[in-house]
Amino acid sequence: MATQEEIRQAGGHRREDPEAERDLQRQREIFRERREELLARHPGMAIAVCGGDVFADRDSGKAVARADEAYPDRLIYLYMCATLT
């Protein structure tokens, strides 16, 4: 599976890695299955899903950093809430 560092070194574009793609798809499915619950629990926040865990913060960079710290070798699914001001 491509590590976050390999992705960074490749300019943010991961190389073809079917295992990583399946893992990312699973994280996306977890978000979709829990969407209503997660959006109600974390209104207006960025929600990162990685390793089956959820990391939410008003700052998307912090949510991703926490997910990356917990799972440094996995891709992260990120949902960003758009709010009107």
Q: pLDDT tens digits, residue range 5-29?
A: 444 444 454 557 899 999 999 999 9
Tell me how far apart the alpha carbons of residues 10 and 34 are, in angstroms, rounded to a whole number: 32
Per-residue pLDDT, averaged over 60-76, amounts to 96
Per-residue pLDDT, averaged over 73-85, amounts to 80
The number of distinct structural domains making up the chain is 1
Tell me, yes or no, whether 58 lies in a domain: yes
- In percent, the amount of the chain with pLDDT more than 70 equals 79
SS3 77: strand
Tell me, yes or no, whether 84 lies in a domain: no
Please give the structure tokens belonging to residue 79: 């949902």
Q: What's the domain range around 42?
A: 4-79
DSSP 8-state symbol, 74: S
Question: What confidence score (pLDDT) does residue 28 get?
Answer: 96
pLDDT higher than 60, residue 84: no
Question: What confidence score (pLDDT) does residue 17 get?
Answer: 86
